[in-house]
Structure 1
Amino acid sequence: MIKFFRKIRKKTLSENKFGKYLTYAIGEIILVVIGILIALSINNHNNNRQQRKIEQAYLLSLQSEFKTNLEKINNCLTENYNQVKAVENMLTLFDDNVRDTISEKEISNIIFSVFKGVPTFIPSKGVLTDIISSGNLNLIQNEKLRQEIASFDSTLDLLKIQEVSTHEMQKELQNQLNENGSVRKVLINRGFNFEHRSISDNASNKKVFGLIKFENTLLDYYLTINATNGQRFFGGIKEQIEQILVDLDSEIIK
């Protein structure tokens, strides 16, 4: 087509018809512009297709990652609920009428259930970190989903502060038990065998439940772990993960 216009342009120039030459020259320019626009359109279309392929790959990977995180947070909720119940059971030992009716072995079991560990949420974030650090978050077209993913880390920061506080309180409880009770007695009643005897073999852990300081610290710990399952921490994170999974599912091409 361009060659056709060039032939006409040469002919009009040779015939000294400047007006027609100008018309054909403009037509030639328009054709070139149209060709460039078509090429750009095709290139943009190919780029968009490639970006959508990358987006779908990310969405599928995020879906798998957040399903894992949902399982982890559910486990944390269950473990923390059990911890709350264990502390509630221990709090009954500050009642003389309860404490005097149970054995040392039962008291050791209660103590062990409280000190055996604090649930900690360690999320899988490999895909999430890669998307954010590489600057590819904008590849996700759904703005609401982008915001949910971007804010997930900040929610974890708040939880980390709560978990540190919980660990510190449990450590303080452990210190008070070490000062006023017998860890060895707990271990023996849990079936641990020591080769040699000790001065604490005949000790009783009942006396620590006569200490107001130990009770106050235990109550602080109880309130903290009870709040951990609430909306600001484990409970809220679970809802956030569930919503992200719903929005991911709606964006994934079946």
Structure 2
Amino acid sequence: MIKFFRRTRQKLLAEKKVGRYLAYALGEIVLVVIGILIALAINNRNQRNIDAKNEQTYLLGLQEEFNISKNKLTELIAVNRANIESAEKIIGLMNQKDSLPLEEDLSQLLLNTFISDVAFNPNNSLLLEIINSGNLKNISNPDLRIMLTNWIATMEDISRQEEDLRHERENLLDIFRTDQFSIKTVLQQTDVLTSLKTPTDGERVSNLGVLSSQEFENKLLLFIVTCHATEDNHYSPLMGYIDDILESISSEIQEK
């Protein structure tokens, strides 16, 4: 078509028909512009298709990551609650001034309270890759983009709370790092030393005296309070946050 316009222009120019020459020249320009616009439209459509495909890949990956993180958080909440339950049982024993429990029972409660540290380790590899590579813009839902961006700051807040809880746990364990009470007794009574194939010979030091220790009670109460704060003010809201993210992701995933 353009060749036709070019040959016609050349013929009109030779015949000195300037008006028609200009009309054909303008037609040639219009055709070129139309061709460029069509090419751009096709290219833009192809790019949109590529972006949409990439977005779906990201969404499916993020959905898997956050589901794994949700399962991890569910398990961690259960561990934290078990720590609280055992610690509160020890407080209950401390309030029974007229009777003492069996050494074995106290040792099991002490082990249950302190053996499990609490630390949330979410699956963030894909999310971090998306953010660091600048591909977060490929997530078309603006609310979801904001939630994903804020997730990192939320994890930092969770880590600070967990560090506070770890500090209270260590303070409580410090009592058993003195010569007044015995970690060895706890491990012996709960058969941990046996499973570790560690010698258990030697005189056994009773830990029943810890139930009358004001220092131990104070530290145990601080530990319990921090455990409750970790779940009520951090883990529970975080679970809701994960559910919101998963709901938003699910609404953006196209049905195959």
Q: For this structure pair, what is the TM-score category when the shorter chain's length is used for normalisation?
A: over 0.9
For 1:119, what is the secondary structure of its paired residue? coil
Shift of 1:93: 2.5
What do the CA deviations read for 1:83-120 (whole angstroms, capped 9, x no partner)? 1111111111222436x242111111111111111222
What is the RMSD computed on CA atoms of the aligned residues? 1.6
Residue 212 of structure 2 is aligned to residue 210 of structure 1: yes
* 1:20 equivalent in structure 2: 20
| 2:93 and 2:101 in contact (8 A); partners too | no
For 1:121, what is the secondary structure of its paired residue? coil
Aligned residues: 250
| 1:63 and 1:245 in contact (8 A); partners too | yes
* 1:121 equivalent in structure 2: 120
Residue 52 of structure 2 is aligned to residue 48 of structure 1: no
Shift of 1:28: 0.9
Shift of 1:7: 2.4
* 2:159 equivalent in structure 1: 160
Residue 236 of structure 2 is aligned to residue 239 of structure 1: no
- Please report the TM-score for the alignment, with normalisation by the length of structure 1: 0.93
- Please report the TM-score for the alignment, with normalisation by the length of structure 2: 0.92
| 2:82 and 2:113 in contact (8 A); partners too | no
What do the CA deviations read for 1:166-214 (whole angstroms, capped 9, x no partner)? 1121111111123231112112211345646434x1x321212222221
Residue 228 of structure 2 is aligned to residue 229 of structure 1: no
Query: Within 2, Cα distance between the matches of 1:189 and 1:9?
Result: 104
Residue 188 of structure 2 is aligned to residue 188 of structure 1: yes
Shift of 1:163: 1.0
| 1:66 and 1:245 in contact (8 A); partners too | yes
| 1:177 and 1:208 in contact (8 A); partners too | no
Query: Within 2, Cα distance between the matches of 1:196 and 1:114?
Result: 22
Query: Within 2, Cα distance between the matches of 1:76 and 1:185?
Result: 28
What do the CA deviations read for 1:4-37 (whole angstroms, capped 9, x no partner)? 2122212221221212211211111111011111
| 2:181 and 2:207 in contact (8 A); partners too | yes
Alignment of 1:6-17 (within 5 A): 6-17=6-17
